Structure formats: structure tokens, C-alpha cells
Structure 1
Amino acid sequence: MTDSAHSRLRTRWHTALVAARGGAEEPDPLPYADNLLARWAEPQRRYHTTAHLAAVLDRVDTLAGHAADPDAVRLAAWFHDAVYRPDRSENEERSAVLAERALPEAGVPSAVTTEVARLVRLTVTHDPAEGDANGEVLCDADLAVLASGPKEYAEYAAQVREEYAFVPDEAFREGRAAVLRQLLGLPALFRTPHGVAEWEPRARQNLMTELELLSGM
């Protein structure tokens, strides 16, 4: 990540955190940003990197008008993969617990902290309840990569494989195909009006194409 990209992310964290705590500038938001950015830059990551974080934040901004509390969603985006080890389970739960520990220390009200942790846990299933506007925004923002152009989607799929390099090829193909079939089996991948209109058709085509490629290997 370049220095300018790092600086922009620190600024985005500062803005979201200060807004979530009602405009208070203390305690200093930036040490929390640096801790999170260090997590997102860990060497085992190939897809779940600071680039993914920035992309999810961009998509949250696109969908912000649909959210009940956009700043809580932005904080949830920061935490949703803050703990990430592809060889371990419960990454989402560990990330939610991190939010529950860090946000009160950072001066965030308890109600906002609870909402952020709830949203992080929701990324296990990406299946928000009807009317859960904040959940719809976060889940759509996280899954929007599925609607990338062909080159970008191929890069995403390759990065996912790199994160699971410790898994033998056949086992990875079986596991990845199961994930793709589960996603394709959902009534809808996206819940926000923008996601349904702009991302759903291309995402389904990308998933079907990847599944066909895996099946032909």
C-alpha cells in the first residue's frame, strides 16, 4: 500500500470514528487506525488486504443512503476481516470480539459498538434479515467484488487460491465449488436496490463461469 493510500485510509477511519462518537476528537483516533491497518497488511493475506478494505469502504459510500447508520457500517467494514487467518475458523467472531474490545476504549457509545459487532458477525452468512438496512449495506459492499469485470474477477479468484495455498488442489476445488453453489443457491446475492440492479446479474454470471472452470479441471 502506498503512503498516500495509507493516509487516505487513516483519514477515513478518523472521520467515521469521530462521527460515531458524536464529534469528540479524544481519544486520538489514529493509533486505532494504525493498529487495524497493520492487521489488514499481515503477510498471510492475498485478497483480504487493505485494498479489499478500501474497496468495501468505497462501496459502503455508494450505498450509504440506504443505511440507517452509515458510520456504524463503515466501522463494521474496518473490523469485518480485521482478524483473518485462512487456516482457522471463527475469523468473523474473533473480529467482532476485537470490535467489542476496541471501540469502547476508543470512545464509541455502547449502542454503536453493539451494532458494529452485530454487523461483523453477519458477514458469516451474508444473509441479513428483511429490513436490516445496515446489514444489507455491509453485506452488499463485501460481496460486490463478485460483480467485477472479467479481469478483476479472475484476479480475485487467484488471490483467494493464494490465501489457501496450503490446501491441496483437489480439496480446494471441491471446497470452492461448494461455496460457489451455496452463493448461487441464494434467492438474491444482493439486497440493496443498487446491488440488485447493478451487481446481481454480473455476479451470478461470474460465479457460474468460475464453477464451470473448476468443474472442467
Structure 2
Amino acid sequence: MMTDLPLRFQKDLLPYHVAPKMAAMWWEEIHQHYGQPKRAYHNLDHLAALFHWADSYETLLNDPETVHWAIWYHDIIYQARRQDNEEQSAILAEKRLVEIGLPAKKIADVVGYIRATAQHLSVEATGDLAFFLDFDLAILGASPEVYANYAAAVREEYQHVPGFLYRRGRKKVLRYFLEAPRLYRTDVLYGLLEEKAKENLRQELDRL
């Protein structure tokens, strides 16, 4: 599994024979966005975690490349005060992938995957999109310790929100997940993570 993000980005660019200067510029853009100090969770570690899942289940993906590009750009625009992060990320992804030279069909799929993260459980998803959405929610089924760190990081990203308002909003999110018939679309991630995720969500809700 490749955890070196700059090297992975170079590898994903290889089929498109882009100029080194452009490759460096695109990587720097990704690094600057995900590396922002205010990003306690939606950061480079989040990218690495999603690539870990994508690598682990690559043999089950129909088009790993499309999933990879969706991972790179799905949270490139992220500000806790905004309501349109996914849409803005999709717009930037489309612009960059056109410049890189991906086929139009792949670009459309990547953009659709990114937009789907705005709704997550409300989106009809099968195949690679289902895997991509499951990878994005995999943190919910982490160990209690890792989940606690995730919850604290999310709170840090919303530090501008007063405590009572944050707790109210967070409870709404947690109940949304807990009331879902299932969190994970793919059978393999459902079997692996569903029960642990629901328990983590219940425990966080109880703490709030």
C-alpha cells in the first residue's frame, strides 16, 4: 500500500504525461488546501486513510482510478462556515481533471462522486460509488480511541460555534446516522464496520 501522498499523486498522473511544472503546481494546490492549520480532520491524514481503504479493496473496484481522483478532490474545498464545500470541490475537481486530460466520462463520474458526499446516505449508490462513500464514512467504525480523536477533531473544526449550538447540531447529525437503516452500502464494509459505527455514534450521543 502506498502512503506517500506526493508519490501517489505522481503515479496517478503518469498516464496523462503532464509537464513536471504542472504536476508540481497541482500537488501544491492539494497540499495547501488539505494542509490548512484549521483542518483538524479534513486534512492530509484523511486523504491517506481513504487511500488505505481504496488500496485494501482495489480488487473489488471496477475503476480504481476514478475512485482515486474522487478521493484527491472530494474535500479540497472545506470551510466549516460554508454550506457548499462539496459543490465547490466538485467544480475545482472538474477544472483540474480537464487540465490533466482525463476522459470526459471519468471526469463526470468523479464530479458525481464528490457531489454525492453532500448527501451521503440519501444518495442511491452502487458499485464504485458505494465503496467511495463507505470509505469516507469508515472512520465511524474505527476503534473507540480513534473515533474519540475524530470527534474531537470535528469539534475543533467547529470551534467558532458556541458549545450549546454545537451540541445541538452534532446531536442532529448523530441521530441522522443512527436512524439510517444502514450506514454502509457495500456488504463487505457493512459486515466489518456497521455494528462498531453504531456503537461509537451512540456513545458520542450519550456524552453530549
TM-score, normalization by structure 1: 0.89
Off by >4 Å, runs of 4+ in structure 1: none
Aligned counterpart, 1:208: 202
Q: Tell whether 2:9 aligns with 1:13.
A: yes
May I ask how many residue pairs the two structures share in their alignment? 203
Does the CA contact (< 8 Å) of 1:10 and 1:34 recur in 2? no
Aligned counterpart, 2:50: 56
Quick one: which of 140, 143, 150 aligns to 1:149?
143
Amino acid at match of 1:177: K
Amino acid at match of 1:68: N
1:25-62: CA deviations, max 9, x gaps? 22443431221111100122111110011101111222
Deviation at 1:111, TM superposition (A): 1.1
Quick one: which of 117, 124, 129 aligns to 1:129?
124
Does the CA contact (< 8 Å) of 1:17 and 1:75 recur in 2? no
In percent, how many aligned pairs have the same letter? 36
Does the CA contact (< 8 Å) of 2:16 and 2:102 recur in 1? no
Could you tell me how far apart the structure 2 residues matched to 1:186 and 1:66 are? 25
Could you tell me how far apart the structure 2 residues matched to 1:163 and 1:61 are? 28
Deviation at 1:157, TM superposition (A): 0.4
Aligned counterpart, 1:90: 84
Aligned counterpart, 1:25: 17
Unmatched segments (≥5 aa) in structure 2 = none
> What secondary structure sits across from 2:37 in the alignment?
coil
Deviation at 1:98, TM superposition (A): 0.3
1:38-95: CA deviations, max 9, x gaps? 1100122111110011101111222223322111011101111000000111100000
Does the CA contact (< 8 Å) of 1:27 and 1:107 recur in 2? no
TM-score, normalization by structure 2: 0.93
